[in-house]
């Protein structure tokens, strides 16, 4: 919630001493938001057109002819083509541009291919100026999960270990897709609130299967979860490593004692009990 003031728009720095006056903020979204109200330009697009928009922007960046589109009457994603031309001109003129994209890009038609197209666009922009892409996370330390999965499996998310080795396939092994297809028959939820953020179809399936939640406070998921295990909040009642949105690792300290264990302690206890059960079953055989 302090992203605009501390990092992206209002903050003053060595190369942008004027802060907000020295920056241009363009918001592309399907509806007005609190961020769009503070933007220099708001482009309200048609839902599900992310791939088409990124593709046209890439073509405009390269100066390729758009034979089927005519400047005077064509729209892309519900926005006039002239507006996309203005955006590309603005991007090429900047000293350092950043594309900050949200989870909605991966949930619309095209899914991970949308993100692939955006990353390609950013790479091509570096032929003209410095450009970068940053995913906007919904919860704290989401990057921590991505970092651990990457160094353990080689993949940042959508990893399936059911065969004893990692398989990666966004759209097939992603959490939302698994839930919507009703392939999951039990869920262990740690440090997130799917009841508040996942689509209705995914949440409805979670409500119909055994669901265990590790959470320090009540949220939209805890009222209907089968088991809720209270844990100490990270950075307050438990120490550890926290990864910022830009992948910088920060060590957070334990500030006060809590009557509840940390996420790590609970997971270790569960793992030990599972190991004990397996050992008992082998001994019985």
Average pLDDT over residues 115-135: 95
Residues 181 and 255 in one domain: yes
Residues 79 and 19 in one domain: yes
Q: Which domain holds residue 72?
A: 3-135
Q: Please report the pLDDT score of residue 100 as a whole number.
A: 94
CATH number of the domain where residue 81 is located: 3.40.228.10
Buried b (16+ CB within 10 A) or exposed e, 128-153: eeebebbbeeeebbbbbbbbebeeeb
pLDDT tens digits, one per residue of 23-74? 999 999 999 999 999 999 999 999 999 999 999 999 999 999 887 666 657 8
Q: From residue 79, how far is each of 11, 43, 49, 74, 86 by CA, in Å?
A: 30, 7, 11, 8, 12
Give the span between the Cα atoms of 161 and 155, in whole angstroms: 12
**Residue where a domain stops, chosen among 96, 113, 135:** 135
Residues 189 and 243 in one domain: yes
Residues 238 and 255 in one domain: yes
Domains contained in the chain, number? 2
**Residue where a domain stops, chosen among 112, 135, 158:** 135
pTM of the entire structure?
0.79
pLDDT band at 118 (very low <50, low <70, confident <90, very high): very high
**Residue where a domain stops, chosen among 135, 165, 197:** 135
Q: Say what percent of the chain tops pLDDT 70.
A: 98
Residues 82 and 150 in one domain: no
Tally of helices (H runs) and strands (E runs) in the chain: 10, 13
Determine contact, residues 89/69, Cβ cutoff 8 Å. no
pLDDT tens digits, one per residue of 204-240? 999 999 999 999 999 999 999 999 999 999 889 999 9
């Amino acid at each position: 919630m302090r992203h605009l003031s501390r990092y992206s728009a209002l903050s003053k720095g060595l190369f942008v001493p004027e802060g907000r006056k020295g920056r241009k903020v363009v918001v592309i979204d399907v509806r007005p938001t609190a961020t769009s109200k503070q933007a220099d330009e708001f482009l309200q697009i048609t839902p599900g057109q992310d791939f088409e928009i990124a593709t046209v922007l890439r073509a405009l960046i390269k100066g390729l002819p758009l034979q089927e589109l005519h400047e005077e009457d064509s729209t892309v994603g519900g926005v006039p083509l002239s507006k996309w031309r203005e955006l590309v001109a603005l991007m090429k003129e900047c000293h350092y541009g950043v594309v900050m994209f949200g989870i909605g890009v991966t949930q619309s038609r095209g899914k991970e291919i949308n993100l692939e197209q955006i990353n390609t666009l950013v790479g091509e922009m570096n032929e003209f100026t410095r450009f970068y892409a940053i995913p906007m996370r919904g919860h704290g330390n989401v990057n921590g999960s991505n970092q651990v999965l990457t160094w353990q499996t080689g993949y940042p998310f959508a990893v399936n270990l059911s065969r004893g080795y990692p398989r990666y396939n966004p759209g097939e092994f992603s959490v939302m897709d698994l839930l919507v297809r009703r392939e999951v028959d039990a869920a262990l939820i740690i440090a997130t609130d799917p009841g508040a953020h996942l689509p209705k179809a995914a949440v409805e399936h979670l409500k119909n299967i055994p669901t265990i939640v590790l959470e320090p406070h009540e949220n939209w998921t805890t009222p209907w979860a089968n088991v809720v295990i209270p844990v100490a909040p990270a950075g307050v009642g438990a120490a550890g490593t926290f990864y910022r949105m830009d992948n910088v690792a920060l060590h957070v300290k334990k500030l006060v004692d809590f009557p509840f264990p940390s996420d790590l302690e609970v997971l270790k206890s569960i793992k030990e009990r599972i190991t004990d059960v397996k050992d008992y079953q082998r001994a019985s055989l």
